[in-house]
Structure 1
Amino acid sequence: MTATPRRLSHHAGFWVVAAAFVTTMAYSTVPTPLYPLYQERDGFPVWVITMIFAAYAVGVVFSLFFVGHISDWAGRRRMSVIAVVVSALSAVLFLVWNDVPGLLTARFVNGVSIGILTATATAYLGELRAISRPAENIIIAASVAGAANLGGLALGPLIGGVFAEYLPDPLVLPHAVFLVLLLIVALVLVAVPETTEPVEPRPRYRPQRLALPSRSRPAFVAAGLGAFASFALFGLFTSLAPTFLIDAFDQHSHLLAGATPFAVFASAAIAQVALARVVLARQLMIAIVSCTVGLVAIAAGALTPSLGLFLAGGIVAGVGVGILFRSAIATAASLAEPGRRGETLALIFLIAYCGLALPVIAVGVSLLFVSETTVLLVFSSLVLVATVGAGLVMRRRAAVGSTP
């Protein structure tokens, strides 16, 4: 007789999935303060760092389009475990194949795991909460999912910075530690109850369908632009902040290299939680002002140069793009046609993750021809125009009561 594995309660399973979400997202940004160490060891130029980071974003986009939706019929638990195991595989690649081709491969594989988990864990948390606490508002699960996502992304660089600054073998130890953590997480996830009924016969595989709303196209374009620009700022700080700190401000602290993107992601996460109950039109006005002030401060900090102004600008801009991204999701959801909400949200997430990759690649190529300060000024200006323009269009729609 085959023993049935013991399952956790749905309430306990909810927090296990949340912890798995945080751990896996954190590992995806642990390499941020380590990039200059790889660069120093192997002597590659700055643009290679942008390619390594872009490989991660390409992996996310790939898995969101081809794999992320499979949990709807293959099961949330199974796909969550697979996502964590794939992340553990990327840790193995970092440990055994850490020249440039290996780094590109490891980051792509890590991105694949994030694309699977982002879609799966968000749905899983909502379903587990609905079963364990049916009387509660679904916003609790959504808030936990959002906090786990951005919170994990924020913690990763800080953890990587601590490893690099204070512990031995910074290109080995962080990956070894997270390999163990991820394998433990995968084992515990096996005990979480499943929330989806198996589909028999299994449907024929197809990539994720995408849906562009037929109504209010300008509002959807604004939402897409806001999501793209928000992730562009996240991508810049996650990929090149440590290099800018060294070259523009002569700051070689690995802890500071990790704390800088941590502060940007953390401010975005805190703003999302703190302003969750504020009227959307008011949230968008705060986002517009924060993006304007923050991006101007980033540019001024690079010109002066003033490290304090640069960091303060990143934190304030983080508040703005955190709110803007969540508002873009809300706008896209409100525009979706009946029965096609998931397909519309999939499209907005794909646009956002393209924003994570394409601008960073453009920055890397630009650094071959012009100075870092010039690139940062142009980048800040373009993101400023995109975020403010998108915010104004979405705010106009929210102000007339079209968006909940």
Structure 2
Amino acid sequence: MTTPSTTTTPTGPRHSLAGPSPRRHRVGFAVVAAAFATAMAFATVPTPLWALYRARDGLPTVVVTVAFAVYAAGVAISLFTVGHLSDHLGRRRVLVPALALEALAALLLVLTPDVVVLVVARVLTGLAVGAITPTATAWLAELHGRTTSSRPGTAAVVATAANLGGLGLGSLLAGFLVGHLGDPLRVPHLLFLGLLLVLVLAVRAVPETVADDVRAEHRPYRVQRVAVPAAARGRYLAAALASFALFAVLGLFSSLAPSVLSSLGHAGPVPGGSTAFAVFAAAAASQVLLTRLHPDHLVRLGLVLTSVGVVVLGTGVLAASVALFVGGGVVAGAGVGALLKGALATAVGLAPAGSRGEATAGVFLAGYLGMAVPALAVGVSSTAGVAFTVSVPVLAGVVLLLLATVAVALRATGPVGSGHGEHQVRA
């Protein structure tokens, strides 16, 4: 999921390439955007299917959250091991194999819709998404820069829409397919298998934007490092904590929304898929609409909206109100979009130019921990007999506590840019 790299691009050299026309770059931009959105959509196809797996195999809730957690782990591992390689290997050399890896995951689920295969496919999907997100984001920016467009912000908007919007569309489309077609555990994956195979071929024809001399360089391999600006450690850690909290909200709706809705009397794949779509769509919309806000204002607005949203959704579970749960999720989603954008901008603003990618990596590491750990805790507690009317409000309370800690820390450390430091603490 990702929510990784929605507003940033990997660091690395940028070179202009002679050859392909602006028209070819425009077409390539559209192809990469479609591939990015489709890859992210495939990551949330299982969201409305979790309840079907549970009903068919008699699985406890913890199995669902484990399948979700291994996806988040796969994203984090890939993000740190291969996500930055396209800067010198080339965009195409990373994106094409990553899309093919997702196609393999789809094929496995078409052939054998078994829960063990599902877990394996989720690992493969996470590994693919961790490579696709930074690569596609950077490629979109570079392709757009060669189209002679007068709108420099278009690439960032499209990348955001493809990333968060794709995550929402995947759950919505899967819920619709399950509600209207037979063999629900195979048909959605079969559709995405076809789309991914077509896009693998299409992406191979997109102009490369990393120069030949850069790709020819022989560089020693290293994993992406995490850098914490020493002179602004408090503010940076506050941004990372905000990332943990906001990804916890996304993790709840990506993995457990159908189960929570079922406990509220609205079982079925369509409500689960639609709810996840609404939350991710709100996050994408807030990022697109609030592009001009200063990072400090984005963080403040995100803290308020996310806090209000989690209070409302927690109250909705306690009051057995679907409207409050979904409405709170949408408000929280809008806050998550603003807070993620602000947290990333804060981390980038605190780091020296040569360490911005490493500073961003730390924020995402905290985020993927937030995506996996709280959802897994709710799943374990549900299997132990704890009702969602207890575990979800507790999760909402934990998120509120984290957001309050972030607000206090940011208030104590001053505005963005006040703590630049030349020395780094590396992990």
Q: 1:376 aligns with which of 392, 396, 405?
A: 392
* C-alpha distance in structure 2 between counterparts of 1:123 and 1:391, whole Å: 31
Deviation sequence 1:202-241 (CA, Å, 0-9, x none) = 2122211221212211110110011111111101100000
Q: CA deviation at 1:372?
A: 1.4
- Alignment check: 8 A CA contact 2:33 2:140 kept: yes
Taking the TM superposition and a 5 Å limit, the aligned residue runs for 1:183-222 are 183-197=197-211, 198-222=214-238
* C-alpha distance in structure 1 between counterparts of 2:369 and 2:375, whole Å: 10
1:162 aligns with 2:184: no
Q: CA deviation at 1:134?
A: 6.6
* C-alpha distance in structure 1 between counterparts of 2:341 and 2:411, whole Å: 13
The amino acid across from 1:297 in the alignment is V
Residue 340 of structure 1: aligned partner: 355
Residue 245 of structure 2: aligned partner: 229
Q: CA deviation at 1:269?
A: 0.8
- Alignment check: 8 A CA contact 2:113 2:186 kept: no
> Quick one: structure 1 residues 280 and 348, their matched pair in 2 at CA, closer, same or farther if it must change by over 3 Å?
closer
Q: CA deviation at 1:36?
A: 0.6
Residue 40 of structure 1: aligned partner: 55
1:150 aligns with 2:164: yes
The amino acid across from 1:310 in the alignment is F
Q: 2:146 aligns with which of 122, 125, 131?
A: 131
- Alignment check: 8 A CA contact 1:295 1:384 kept: yes
* C-alpha distance in structure 2 between counterparts of 1:235 and 1:100, whole Å: 19
Alignment RMSD (CA, Å): 2.2
1:265 aligns with 2:311: no
Taking the TM superposition and a 5 Å limit, the aligned residue runs for 1:5-404 are 9-133=24-148, 136-137=151-152, 139-197=153-211, 198-247=214-263, 249-369=264-384, 370-391=386-407, 393-394=409-410, 399=415, 402=418
Aligned length: 399
- Alignment check: 8 A CA contact 2:295 2:345 kept: no
Q: CA deviation at 1:8?
A: 6.7
Q: CA deviation at 1:135?
A: 5.2
Q: CA deviation at 1:387?
A: 2.4
> Quick one: structure 1 residues 216 and 315, their matched pair in 2 at CA, closer, same or farther if it must change by over 3 Å?
same
- Alignment check: 8 A CA contact 1:68 1:115 kept: yes
Consecutive unaligned residues of structure 1, counting only runs of 5 or more, are: none
- Alignment check: 8 A CA contact 1:291 1:388 kept: no
> Quick one: structure 1 residues 8 and 24, their matched pair in 2 at CA, closer, same or farther if it must change by over 3 Å?
farther
SS state at 2:383 partner? coil
SS state at 1:203 partner? coil
> Quick one: structure 1 residues 184 and 306, their matched pair in 2 at CA, closer, same or farther if it must change by over 3 Å?
same
Q: CA deviation at 1:146?
A: 1.4
* C-alpha distance in structure 1 between counterparts of 2:389 and 2:74, whole Å: 29
Deviates more, 1:210-219 or 1:47-56: 210-219
Q: CA deviation at 1:105?
A: 0.3
Deviation sequence 1:57-82 (CA, Å, 0-9, x none) = 11101111111111112110121111
The amino acid across from 2:389 in the alignment is T
Deviation sequence 1:73-95 (CA, Å, 0-9, x none) = 21101211111111101101112
Normalising by the residue count of structure 1, what TM-score does the alignment of the two structures yield? 0.94
> Quick one: structure 1 residues 336 and 157, their matched pair in 2 at CA, closer, same or farther if it must change by over 3 Å?
same
Deviates more, 1:150-159 or 1:91-100: 91-100
Q: CA deviation at 1:395?
A: 6.4
> Quick one: structure 1 residues 256 and 73, their matched pair in 2 at CA, closer, same or farther if it must change by over 3 Å?
same
* C-alpha distance in structure 2 between counterparts of 1:317 and 1:395, whole Å: 22
> Quick one: structure 1 residues 395 and 133, their matched pair in 2 at CA, closer, same or farther if it must change by over 3 Å?
farther
Q: CA deviation at 1:399?
A: 4.7
SS state at 1:162 partner? helix
Residue 7 of structure 2: aligned partner: none
The amino acid across from 1:171 in the alignment is L
* C-alpha distance in structure 1 between counterparts of 2:61 and 2:178, whole Å: 19
SS state at 1:212 partner? strand
* C-alpha distance in structure 2 between counterparts of 1:8 and 1:179, whole Å: 29
The amino acid across from 1:166 in the alignment is H
* C-alpha distance in structure 2 between counterparts of 1:395 and 1:161, whole Å: 42
- Alignment check: 8 A CA contact 1:285 1:395 kept: no
- Alignment check: 8 A CA contact 1:284 1:395 kept: no
The amino acid across from 2:219 in the alignment is P
Deviates more, 1:199-208 or 1:337-346: 199-208
Deviation sequence 1:225-260 (CA, Å, 0-9, x none) = 11111111101100000011112x111232111001
* C-alpha distance in structure 1 between counterparts of 2:22 and 2:191, whole Å: 27
> Quick one: structure 1 residues 394 and 191, their matched pair in 2 at CA, closer, same or farther if it must change by over 3 Å?
farther
The amino acid across from 1:254 in the alignment is P
Consecutive unaligned residues of structure 2, counting only runs of 5 or more, are: 1-19, 421-427
The amino acid across from 1:16 in the alignment is V
Deviates more, 1:114-123 or 1:69-78: 69-78
> Quick one: structure 1 residues 325 and 126, their matched pair in 2 at CA, closer, same or farther if it must change by over 3 Å?
same
The amino acid across from 2:245 in the alignment is A
Q: CA deviation at 1:279?
A: 3.3
Give 4+ residue runs of structure 1 displaced > 6 Å after superposition.
5-8
Deviation sequence 1:148-179 (CA, Å, 0-9, x none) = 10000111110110011111111111101100
